[in-house]
Structure 1
Amino acid sequence: MKILLIGLGSIGQRHLTNLLHLGYTDVSVVSRAGVLPDSFSRLTCYASVDDALQARSFDAAIICSPTALHLASLFPLLRAQVPNIYIEKPVSHNLEGLDELVRLATSYTNNIVVGYDLHFDPGMQKVKELLDQNVIGKIVSVNAQVGQYLPDWRPQQDYREGMSAKKETGGGVMLDLVHEFDYLYWLFGPAENICCQYTNSGALEIETEDVCEVLIRFSNGAIGTIHLDYLQQKMIRNCMITGHNGSIFWDLSNCRVSWINKNKQETQFEYVGFNRNDRFIESMQSFLSGAEDPRLTSLAEGLESLRWVVAAKYSAEHNSFVNPNTFKTEQFVK
């Protein structure tokens, strides 16, 4: 299989290392630096996606460029009708150009996946299983939160110069930590209304928002909240789901899912031995196999979580509730 990997930042290097570990040897890289680190020096490097596509055809492409550059990388691949495309989350940083994206993506048969690897976390899979089995009955509320100190993300570089810190590259907690928007849509379906407040606290000397609170009413009647921040000194990522007959608590930091029923019977599922990188390996294996895997995120699903984020931003900036399903696209475009 001939694979083109676009972008060699931290996530690009992770995917490239995993691809080589999985035995894929015909991998080419697009890097703006024009040169690859010594550990990848044997691979072919191109300065742009267009250069790579002019040189040869590819069976698959993996987009790992900064969020704001995703569509610039994606459009040439779609025009060349590359059959398998993996886009690191989120699809883009706003809704501009998405009509053209959908037109190109539906112009030929393809396998386009958005990289929401949390679907491959054993704990998240257990939560999905419990919900599908109606273990806690009708869902009434869900509370998701995530926080991690931004300077700890990539300690080898100045975080103030990274993608997360800059608006032009699509940074900020709402896009960086978009997993929460995605998995709530995956678990509970469409949102009927979204309300949001976000702020730049000034603590990190960055351009983008570092704290955000979101309120959601789902179409199924449940209500939910999302908390996002760049400031937690100890990483947290968890979700509490409350139903008529009990509750479920997923705690990624401690690799645990616990649930309790109306009889006060508590059960725990632990997966302490699971490595974070295993999620990336499993999702890439599934994508490249072309298998029907419900854990993979389709382009349509990836666009929905992006719409939630942009709707939330609009809500905060206009002090209003927003229905992401009926809000006109052009009103979102900055």
Structure 2
Amino acid sequence: MKILMVGLGGSGQRLLRIFSEKVPDKQFYAYRVKRRLFAINPNFSVNQSENIEQKYRITVLNDLDQALAVCPDVTVVTNPTSHHLETAIKAASTGSDLFIEKPISHTLDGLEKLAQIVKKKQLIVFTGYQMRFHPAIQKIQALVSSGKLGQIMFAKLYAGSFLPAWHPYESYKDLYAARQNLGGGVLLTESHEFDYAYWLFGVPKRIYATGGNLGPEPLEVEDTASVVLEYYAKTTDRAFHVHLELCMMQTVPSRGCEIQGTKGSVIWRQEDNCLKIWDQESKQTSVQQFDAFERIEMYRSEIDHFLSCVKTRKSPLINLQDATNSLKMVLAAKNSMKTHQAVMLK
């Protein structure tokens, strides 16, 4: 299998390592801009003694067109968000299946063109929302979709991290997440909560968001966002709200959710590796621990899934339409934050 890596920063090198483990007969190619030769460890520290290109025998090409001329079977898109769509369209035009880091883009412009190419060439397109492969999120999705929680009354989804600590080997202000022109900001960068809210509840009717550069450091993008997604229950047409709290200048990282239904509730905290499920009828709480689960397993699982889809040609769990719907939610939140008005989606 010919695998083209477009971008080999921290995220790209993590995927490179896993693809190398999972694909026995492979040849790696890469198109890189910064072309740092050192290896980035799983904890994002630097190994200066290891040359990443030599270790994985990567053939590096000087420009994207030259790289795509090798006709890769799979193109892994991990360059800055604002370049995702241009790269994906060019790669799809050559007939390459696509693994695209989240979010799929920072704009809807060009997505229809990509969709047309993908449909014509019958390509596999997967977007890397790895939180869907966390066993706690999968359990929550099963509970919600089965109706075991009853009618949803409200939900809270939150994620907080500290941007200056993401990449110790470079200034955080140079990161795509901190730069408007590269598709940065917490809404796009931490869009996992939008995606699994969409997985759990679908596309909301309307979105309202507040926030901005509220952290201690001046940034040209929003680092904090509070978002309300308004849904209507299918059977009763009763409204319920899903609250998203996102921050990338939070010194103590956290991630989790709480969902309250008429028949039960769930509370999940990633830092505790613990899922608590309350059953209203029995008045009992069950606790599931995920102590043996490591975060890297989400990435391994998503790549297993992607490679299976490439082989079987089945539509992936997060296909192009799903990634588009999640992006529409994010962009509606950005628009709401700018206009101070709720944005209708349905």
Residue 266 of structure 1: aligned partner: 285
Residue 168 of structure 1: aligned partner: 181
Matched ranges for 1:173-184 at <5 A: 173-184=186-197
Rounded Cα–Cα distance in structure 1 between residues aligned with 2:63 and 2:242: 42
Matched ranges for 1:58-207 at <5 A: 58-82=72-96, 84-207=97-220
Residue 273 of structure 2: aligned partner: 255
Matched, 1:305 2:326: yes
Residue 218 of structure 1: aligned partner: 231
Residue 282 of structure 1: aligned partner: 301
1:176-204 C-alpha deviation (Å, 9 max, x unpaired): 10000000000111210101112112512
Q: TM-score, normalised by structure 1?
A: 0.92
Matched, 1:296 2:329: no
Amino acid at match of 1:29: A
Residue 20 of structure 2: aligned partner: 20
Asked if 2 retains the 8 angstrom alpha-carbon contact of 1:15 and 1:280, the reply is yes
1:10-30 C-alpha deviation (Å, 9 max, x unpaired): 100100111122244312111
1:109-167 C-alpha deviation (Å, 9 max, x unpaired): 11111111011111111111222332221112111111111112122221111111110
Matched, 1:46 2:61: yes
- Cα RMSD between the aligned structures? 1.8
Rounded Cα–Cα distance in structure 2 between residues aligned with 1:159 and 1:137: 43
Amino acid at match of 1:146: A
Give 3-state SS (helix, strand or coil) of 1:155's partner.
coil
Rounded Cα–Cα distance in structure 2 between residues aligned with 1:13 and 1:304: 28
Asked if 2 retains the 8 angstrom alpha-carbon contact of 1:189 and 1:219, the reply is no
Q: How has the CA–CA distance of structure 1 residues 246 and 295 changed in structure 2, closer, same or farther, with 3 Å as cutoff? A: farther
Rounded Cα–Cα distance in structure 2 between residues aligned with 1:203 and 1:150: 12
The structure carrying a bigger strand percent of its residues is 2
Asked if 2 retains the 8 angstrom alpha-carbon contact of 1:34 and 1:46, the reply is no
Q: How has the CA–CA distance of structure 1 residues 9 and 146 changed in structure 2, closer, same or farther, with 3 Å as cutoff? A: same
1:219-276 C-alpha deviation (Å, 9 max, x unpaired): 4343111000112221111111010112111211211111112243101111111111
Matched, 1:227 2:242: no
Range with bigger deviation, 284-293 or 167-176 = 284-293
Asked if 2 retains the 8 angstrom alpha-carbon contact of 1:120 and 1:295, the reply is no
Moved over 3 A (4+): 33-37, 291-295
Q: How has the CA–CA distance of structure 1 residues 75 and 185 changed in structure 2, closer, same or farther, with 3 Å as cutoff? A: same
Rounded Cα–Cα distance in structure 2 between residues aligned with 1:132 and 1:285: 24
Asked if 2 retains the 8 angstrom alpha-carbon contact of 1:119 and 1:295, the reply is no
Rounded Cα–Cα distance in structure 1 between residues aligned with 2:284 and 2:327: 38
Rounded Cα–Cα distance in structure 2 between residues aligned with 1:241 and 1:297: 22
**Alignment length (residue pairs):** 323
Amino acid at match of 2:82: A
Sequence identity (%): 30
Residue 31 of structure 1: aligned partner: 32
Give 3-state SS (helix, strand or coil) of 1:275's partner.
coil
Asked if 2 retains the 8 angstrom alpha-carbon contact of 1:286 and 1:293, the reply is no
